[in-house]
Amino acid sequence: MSVRSNSFRLNKSEGKIMGVCAGLADYSGIDLMLVRVLAVLLTLCGVGSTIILYLLVGLIAPSNRY
């Protein structure tokens, strides 16, 4: 479990694909598995912009490489 930071950063060490969900979990203080489940549910419920936002954040946001 990581310490909550002041700014959003990708977490490549705990991430599965790009580290976006792990970065959101670190930033918000929410459990990583809950963030991943919410992302999958939003994608499956037809919110197509979830995939686009995920990719944009993964390409633009700075990363923590520990």
* Stated pTM of the model: 0.78
Cβ within 8 Å of residue 57, ≥6 positions away: 10, 18, 20
What's the whole-number mean pLDDT along residues 27-44? 91
Q: pLDDT category, 56, cuts 50, 70, 90?
A: very high
pLDDT at 64 over 80: no
Separation of alpha carbons 15 and 61, rounded Å? 14
Share of the chain above pLDDT 90, in %: 23
| Inter-residue contact 13 to 64 (CB < 8 Å) | yes
pLDDT digits (tens, 9 = 90+) for 7-28: 888 888 888 888 899 999 989 8
